[in-house]
Amino acid sequence: MTNGISIYLGLDNTPEENIELIKKASARGIKRIFTSLHIPETDKNKLKDELQHILQIARKESMDVITDVSPATTELLDLDGFSLDYFARLGLTTLRLDYGFGVEKIAEMSQNTLGIKIQLNASTITKDYLKALIRLGANADQLEASHNFFPRENTGLDEDFVWQKTSLLHKYGIKVSAFIPSFNRPRSPICAGLPTMELHRKASFDFALRHLLAMGMDSVFVGDSLPHDSELKCLGEFSPGQGIFLRPDLWTTRQTILDLLANKFTTRMDEARDVIRTQESRQYFKDAGFSIKAEQCGIRNKGYVTLDNENYGRYQGELQILKVDLPADYRVNVVASLSNNEMLLLKYLTPGKDFCFLL
């Protein structure tokens, strides 16, 4: 799955802005669009006028379109009843069922042969609910889940809550999405961003994206409807499944050390208590063929990145990220450190995880 953008017909953007956004996103490799067919503030007439055209552009760009629906959607579109056939003819590929649908109906809809996926609300899902879906014969291959976004300040979700719900869904083989805000033009009427997690409302776009991907999200959508070009670039560059990306503050300008840090690393399977160790760092060092002189061998705080120097013998080149504070050691150089936000990602560096430093 790729990351995605959001488009809200009949709200802030002009039709021309929406079309330009779709084309820019597609060019960046972003192939998913989230929209909604039950936002109270939407101009109903504008929505109906723009929907067909937007779906045509999306098909031309080979983009999946996910829409938030409820029973009220039928009134908005002047339909006689809720019809999967109608949505399939429109060109929608995924329906996110926000409220108003019982578990029996959802299980039935997941069995459709139209190629439409059914997306659950990941923020409200429970283990009992998932068991009921399976018992009723739901087709897990056509089920996805997406966390809510929260327009009002202070109502976004807690990190541990998101992690628990996402982990539960993954145990059932269901892919999960979430939202981050854009800082270019926050969506009306609140204009406070559309994050899933409250932490991300004021965090950088880059960090919010990397944070959700570190948590294992299968797709990340920018919730607001007119992201900046730099945000689209970021959304296209950091794709699900690439590993965890850490942005350190560097303590060295030595090119040989920077070259070593630029490699891709994997956390060791035998997890240490005090530090995060890597499988490849000493071999990378041996292949580079230089000696690491002792420097910056001061106190090692949590979140510091270190390299063992020549005084550590065969451990020379061992790269570690500290999980706790440790005393100074003349055999260990501090080469970088992580900010408080970056340290939030360390809990997801479980054994066997790939990660990279963004230098």
Q: What is the CATH number of the domain that holds 171?
A: 3.20.20.70
Domain that holds residue 100: 4-241
**Pair (31, 163) in one structural domain:** yes
Question: If pLDDT is split at 50, 70 and 90, which confidence band does 40 have?
Answer: low
Q: Give the pLDDT confidence of 328-347 residue by residue, as tens digits.
A: 999 999 999 999 999 999 99
Residue after which a domain boundary falls, among 241, 268, 302: 241
**Pair (234, 260) in one structural domain:** no
**Pair (310, 217) in one structural domain:** no
**Pair (295, 309) in one structural domain:** yes
Kindly report which listed range (93-102, 112-121, 140-149, 267-276) carries the lowest average pLDDT score: 93-102
Q: Is 70 exceeded by the pLDDT of residue 70? A: yes
Q: Give the pLDDT confidence of 189-214 residue by residue, as tens digits.
A: 899 999 999 999 999 999 999 999 99
Residue after which a domain boundary falls, among 189, 208, 241: 241
Q: Mean pLDDT throughout 138-165?
A: 97
Residue after which a domain boundary falls, among 241, 267, 299: 241
**Pair (94, 222) in one structural domain:** yes
**Pair (35, 135) in one structural domain:** yes
**Pair (74, 175) in one structural domain:** yes
Q: Give the pLDDT confidence of 81-102 residue by residue, as tens digits.
A: 788 998 898 889 999 987 778 9
Q: Give the pLDDT confidence of 219-265 residue by residue, as tens digits.
A: 999 999 899 999 999 999 998 999 999 999 999 999 999 999 999 99
**Pair (289, 141) in one structural domain:** no
Which DSSP state fits 16?
H
CA distance 12 to 321: 44
Structure-derived torsion over alpha carbons of residues 260, 264, 267, 269, reported in degrees to the nearest 10: -110
Phi (first) and psi of residue 241, to 5 degrees = 85, 5
Please count the structural domains in the chain: 2
Q: Is 90 exceeded by the pLDDT of residue 65? A: yes
Contact 144, 175 (CB under 8 A): yes
Instruction: Give this prediction's pTM.
Output: 0.94
Q: Is 90 exceeded by the pLDDT of residue 74? A: no
Contact 180, 208 (CB under 8 A): yes
Q: Of all helices (H) and strands (E), which one includes residue 262? A: none
CA distance 337 to 28: 31
What's the confidence (pLDDT) of residue 221? 98
Question: If pLDDT is split at 50, 70 and 90, which confidence band does 12 have?
Answer: confident
Kindly report which listed range (10-19, 42-51, 93-102, 206-215) carries the lowest average pLDDT score: 42-51
Q: Is 90 exceeded by the pLDDT of residue 308? A: yes
For every residue of 43-111, DSSP letters joined together read -HHHHHHHHHHHHHHHHHTT-EEEEEE-TTHHHHTT-SS--HHHHHHHT--EEEE-SS--HHHHHHHTT
